[in-house]
Amino acid sequence: MSAAKQRVGFIGVGLMGHGMAKNIVEKGYPLEVMGHRNKKPVKDLVKRGAKEAKSPAAMARDCDVIFLCVTSSVQVEDLIHRADGIKAGAHKGLIIVDCSTADPNSTIALAEELKPLGVRLIDAPLGRSPKEAEQGLLNTFVGSDDKTLKEVLPIIETWAENIIHVGPIGSGHKIKLINNFVAMSYSAIFAEAYTTAKKTGVPLDKFYDVITAGGLNSGFFQNLSKWVIGRDPKAHEFTLANCDKDIRYYNQLANAEKLTTVVASSVQQSYTMALAMGRGDWHMPMLADVIADFNGISLGAKPKAAKAKAGKAKKAAKKAKKAGKK
């Protein structure tokens, strides 16, 4: 089978997935896509030459390779197992590439389940941001056997700049969780540091200058600071709900090996608190505002979405109060 003629399916064309799928179709691969709530990316990809699949099962019947770029193992398992899911339409030779940040144990179990059908599942979670996805410059960490990776490599090369073959199935998801543990931890540390700086009268821009001039400076810190200092809502478009999910998966991975997770367990509480405060749809750098709010401090203007929700809640409360007086 010629790689250039592989029929490709893509499920999950959101912030990351749209750019990946765009690069696949623009590099000449026949492409079928599926979206969910937001139809705008699907319509854009159809204009570029893709087709919209009616169901995961229909896509599985039509395609040689299917990429999944969804939120977690919950969505991956549903896409495979539902009545009109991938498994229902699977054929021998189908390859599924899971680009989600998922539970490695689930990934390995799904691969074993699909093997008797002649279906191969590998993992290729992502690094970098939607900007690099659109440019075809993502990083990916692949868990796969050599043969399967060789078959899908030309397609992955349409959207990835750095492709790191970590090891067998599940290895990509494992290293992604370890990588994200580091990222979530730094985010929590900088969030608390910015809050402390504000509370103690240290100008935030001076704290920024100190970190930028020293060994702790990094692209991650710069992205986070684009929100904290510049209030750029697109600084790092990764939700706190996803952060919470990833750090939970990391802790599950480490706990299964009976490892101590003193740092990770503490970091998880910061994101769990954000969800408890109703901030799950805020982006990662906005954890600084969650920590500040919890301490009765304001770092600056709140995200517009949060303002809108607060306004709706206020109106609902007034309406309920008014109804109670009648």
The CATH number assigned to the domain holding 146 equals: 3.40.50.720
pTM beyond 0.85: the answer is yes
* Statement: residue 3 has pLDDT above 80: no
205 & 235 share domain? yes
Does 72 score more than 60 pLDDT?
A: yes
> 65 pairs with which residues across the strands?
8, 95
Percent of the chain with pLDDT over 70: 92
Same domain, 39 and 116: yes
Q: The domain containing residue 257 runs over which residues? A: 174-311
Domain stop point among 123, 145, 168: 168
- The CATH number of the domain holding residue 246 is 1.10.1040.10
Query: How do residues 256-309 score in pLDDT, each as one tens digit?
Result: 999 999 999 999 999 999 999 999 999 999 999 999 999 999 999 988 755 445
First to last CA, the chain: 72
Q: What is the pLDDT of residue 311?
A: 46
Kindly tell me the burial class for residue 80, based on how many C-beta atoms sit within 10 Å of its own C-beta (0-12, 13-18, 19 or more).
buried
Same structural domain for residues 203 and 146? no
Same domain? For 190 and 161 the reply is: no
C-alpha distance from residue 289 to each of 33, 58, 238, 312, 321 (Å): 36, 44, 15, 20, 30
* Location of structure tokens 């608190």: 273
Q: How far apart are CA 237 and CA 288, in angstroms?
A: 15
Structure tokens that stand for 20 in this block: 């990946």
Number of domains, the chain: 2
The answer to whether position 15 is within a domain reads yes
Is the domain of 144 the same as that of 193?
Answer: no
**Residues 142 and 249 occupy one common structural domain:** no
Is residue 321 one of the residues assigned to a domain? no
Specify the pairing of strand 65-68 against strand 95-98: parallel
Q: Provide the Cα torsion 186, 192, 195, 200; round to 10°.
A: -120
Confidence category of residue 37, pLDDT binned at 50, 70, 90: confident
Model pLDDT for residues 104-155, shown as the tens digit of each residue: 999 999 999 999 999 999 999 999 999 999 999 999 999 999 999 999 999 9
- Looking at the fold, whether 20 and 144 belong to one and the same domain comes out as yes
**Roughly what angle, to the nearest 10 degrees, separates helices 262-276 and 240-256?**
150
Q: What is the pLDDT of residue 318?
A: 52
